[in-house]
Each structure stands twice: as C-alpha cells, then as structure tokens.
C-alpha cells in the first residue's frame, strides 16, 4: 500500500499566481491563513536527541524553548519587518506570525543537560538521554 500525503490547498496555489499574471493589482499569497510553522529535523544517537529547526528571519530573542515532563516545546514569532510595512506589497509568499511546536519524548531525558544554539537562521537543540532509568520502587517501612 502506498501512503500519499494529501495537501488539497496546494492545488489552489497556482490559481492565484495565474490570476496575478492577468491582473497587476492583485496581491497574491500562497497560504490562506499566512501562518508560519518551521520545518524541523529530529535525530538521535546513543547519548542524545537532536533537533534542527529552520527559522529564517526569526530573532534569537523571539524564541522560547521549554522542556518539562519529557515534553519539548519550541515557541517563537517571525515578525513582519517595519521596513516592509512602509512599502506597498505587490507579491508576498513568505509567512509570518507566531508558531509553537511540541514534541513528546518516549525516553527519559536529562533536562539539566539541554542546550540550544542559534546561528544563520538554524536552531539546534541537544538533550541528553538518561542512561540509568529511575525506578518507581520504594521501600516502605512499617511502623
């Protein structure tokens, strides 16, 4: 069986572009809600989990990363530049806005080991796996 990812709105993307070619005053966007959701790669080795997120035009201070109860949350915002607001847009394909991506880890991690780097529009996060599993077993003394 072949699984095909359906994206029905992409078929309409070319419609706006063709209409733009016939009407110079039409402002075309290829996304109906113009939201921003970064593309993220996740990998692992024996010791760590790794995330790499593409965040072009996002400022470091607009990124918030939280690791709690083995749930990693990456939040941020890609802002519309003040310089761009001054201009009359003819064609705009880039997306802006707030984003939030959440990942549940199925293995114990060490939150104290987590660190992130942000360079050239790429956010890299590394979180160490816990090598010793915590046991929920506890001796209870009878009084």
**CA gap 73, 102 in Å, rounded:** 4
- What is the extent of the structural domain holding 43? 39-129
Residue 141 lies in a domain: no
Does some domain include residue 140?
no
Specify whether the CB–CB gap between 63 and 128 falls below 8 A. no
| CATH classification of the domain holding 47 | 2.60.40.790
* pTM of the predicted model as reported, rounded to 2 decimal places: 0.66
Total domain count, the chain? 1
Would you write out the chain's pLDDT as a tens digit for each of its 143 residues? 455 555 555 555 555 555 444 444 444 444 445 577 899 999 999 999 999 999 998 999 999 999 988 899 999 999 877 666 677 878 777 888 899 999 998 778 888 899 999 999 999 999 999 877 666 666 677 87
Does residue 118 belong to any structural domain of this protein? yes
Residue 9 maps to a domain: no
């Amino acid at each position: 069986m072949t699984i095909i990812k359906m994206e029905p709105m992409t078929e309409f993307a070319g419609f706006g572009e063709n209409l733009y070619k016939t009407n110079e005053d039409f402002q075309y966007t290829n996304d109906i809600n113009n939201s921003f959701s970064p593309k993220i790669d996740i990998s692992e080795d024996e010791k760590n989990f790794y995330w790499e997120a593409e965040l072009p035009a996002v400022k470091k201070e607009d990124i918030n990363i939280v690791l709690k109860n083995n749930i990693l949350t990456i939040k941020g915002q890609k802002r519309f530049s003040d310089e761009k607001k001054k201009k009359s847009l003819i064609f705009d394909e880039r997306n802006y806005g707030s984003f939030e991506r959440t990942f549940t880890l199925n293995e114990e991690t060490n939150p104290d080991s987590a660190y992130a780097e942000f360079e050239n529009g790429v956010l890299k996060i590394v979180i160490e796996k816990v090598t010793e599993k915590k046991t929920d077993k506890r001796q209870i003394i009878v009084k």
